[in-house]
Amino acid sequence: FCVGTSYILAVKVSYIVAVIMVDYKVQGSFAILEVNNPPVNALSHAVRSGLNDGIEKASRDRNVKAVIVCGKGATFPAGADIREFSKPKKEPWLPEIGHKMEKCEKPVIAAIHGTCLGGGLEIALFCHYRIALKTARVGFPEVQLGLLPGAAGTQRLPRVAGLQVAMDMISSGRHVLATEAKKYGIIDELCLKAVKASVDFPYEKGLEMETEFFKQLLGSGQSKAQQYAFFAERTIARWEMPNGNYRTAVAKPVKSTAVIGAGTMGSGIVVCLLSAGIPVYLMEQNEKFLNNGLKMIKSIMEGSVKLGKVSPEVGRKAATLLKPTMNYNDLKDVDLIPVLVKTCRGFLANRMHGPFGTEGTFLVEEGALPSQVDRVMEDFGLPIGPFKVRDLSGVDIAYKIKQEVAKLLGIKTTLQTRFMNGERYCALNDRLFHLGRLGRKTGKGYYKYEKAGGKIATEDSDVTDIIEKHCKELGIQRRQISSQEIVERMMYSCINEGFKILEDGIAVRPEDIDVCYLYGFSFPRYLGGPMFYANQIGLQRVYERICYYHENFPYSPHWVPSRLLRKLAAKSVPMNEWMAYATGSKL
């Protein structure tokens, strides 16, 4: 440090240190190659170099009769270093090291504990023997990152465990729900081709094909999005508040929780808490609502047990953990934890999702049909379209929210209302409400259902008639609406709101928003989340389209372009630097 009279100048000194990430030691006649790259011993370049040098050294050493490969600390290597995927590739490659291990004339043994995943399992499969602690877990989670095993896993696992087991492990990642895995169409197909090559071709040819498929996937937007989602989930846990942060805070045990409102959403949340074995108070304003909620919870729990989503034991215990109440006093000691956000109307998720729902209704008013909007958004990757969601949550909920807003503004709406407080208003939902089409609960809403409370949605020509009548009465000329327009208006309107949320400091990172969407709205993981999706498209393009829609729909304030987005788009700021431009942002 150089200390002057009025300033302190800090001089940064850098040391070049050779990082040793594989400890090589000889014990008796064993050479031990211990990977030491905490926390998960990922197979970074330094680790690969260490393993490569280690196996060469052990092969040469006359005193060594056998080689053990293991991991220090919590685990055997849990896979390739995902952070290196976006950097230029550096030799030695994993298969090259694996082949050296396989060709080693001394027995090479993988001693496995913790989580032996991805590249870690591939290394183990190259070894002549594998021994493991009973508690160890193995797997190929690459599919969750939009990849397939790329270091001979697709060739060696079928040879060791058989085609059926290999297909199951590689295509599901074992942690992925079947429904989600099915959506990974391209990956399933490439997995399939790679694993099939292990039967159809000699090992070398199969390996060549695997490498080619791995490269294709690594370069795909889908894989980048899934890698982003992996790190985003971990990033959001690193929260900072003026009076503490994730390092200093000590997690309190969750002994009791409360859910206020026993409607569809409240009951669903109760089921999640009960399934996790957490006691929960269910609060309602009257006995009728409370009993309806209890009935719904019982039926969902029974269904979950039948489907094997929760064990019968958890199902039985759930009844003892649920405490119905109509008294707020009962809730005074409950613990509350879901995502750190500043408060605003709609908080993060509902505020951002508001324009999404509104645009859906406007699109229908202009010419689309609810089933068309749903189909396009399901093709985009959402598990369920917005109008099916509205039928699920209740047409009356959307209606009552609008009525509350109107009341606050001192306005009375009619079926002819087209503007409220200077903003575009669509009374289509109100029409359905007045016709008693409240959604699934009444057996009809934007769709018709097999019965009241039914789940099978079918298109209803009555709905088309209602929409057409609405447009005729208001003199609206309906037009053809393209799929592109549907996706852009639904997604870009909420992305624009997302940037406003960042600018206002309601969330402090785009990752917070994306993880909310991945978990809260089952946003497709292979798109990363709406903010990552916007980044992939390019902020300039997104900004231009938002400006275009703002020009065309000046009475919808959600199209007023976000200032933050404008700045970021103008300077092509990379995603990891966005928050430096969000001047208003502080929790």
462 to each of 385, 416, 432, 444, 459, how far by Cα in Å?
A: 19, 20, 11, 10, 9
Tell me which residue of 469, 496, 523, 473 sits closest to 359, measured CA to CA: 496
Q: How far is the CB of 282 from ligand 3H9 (least distance, A)?
A: 31
User: In terms of CB distance, is 114 or 561 closer to ligand 3H9?
Assistant: 114
DSSP sequence for 141-178: GGGGGT----SSHHHHHHHHH-HHHHHHHHHHTTTS-H
Per the annotation, the verdict on 56 as an active-site residue is: no
d(CA 89, CA 94): 11
Q: Whose Cβ is closer to ligand 3H9: residue 47's or residue 373's?
A: 47
| Cα separation, 462 vs 479, whole angstroms | 19
Nearer to ligand 3H9 by C-beta: 373 or 518? 518
CB closer to ligand 3H9, 180 vs 488: 180
Question: Is 511 among the residues known to form the active site?
Answer: no
Q: Which SS3 state, helix, strand or coil, does residue 413 take?
A: coil
**b (16+ CB within 10 A) / e for 283-305:** bbeeeebbeebbebbbebbeebb
Q: Cα(318)–Cα(314) distance, rounded to whole angstroms?
A: 6
| Nearest approach, Cβ of residue 257 and ligand 3H9 (Å) | 23
d(CA 421, CA 409): 8
Write down the least CB distance from residue 580 to ligand 3H9, Å.
20
| Residue numbers at the binding site for ligand 3H9 (CB under 6 A) | 39-40, 42, 78-83, 94, 115, 117-119, 122, 141-142, 145, 149-151, 153, 231, 234
CB 218 to ligand 3H9: min, Å? 9
CB of 169 to ligand 3H9, least distance (A): 12
What is the token pair recorded at 459?
Answer: 């298109």
Burial class (CB in 10 A: 0-12, 13-18, 19+), 13: exposed
Least Å distance, CB 110 to ligand 3H9, is 15
Nearer to ligand 3H9, 42 or 457 (CB): 42
79 secondary structure, DSSP code? S
d(CA 347, CA 359): 19
Q: Which of 142, 366, 488, 497 is catalytic?
A: 142
Residue 48 or 489 having the CB closest to ligand 3H9? 48
d(CA 587, CA 206): 52
- Among candidate residues 34, 122, 210, 503, the one labeled active-site is 122
Could you give the residue numbers annotated as active site? 122, 142
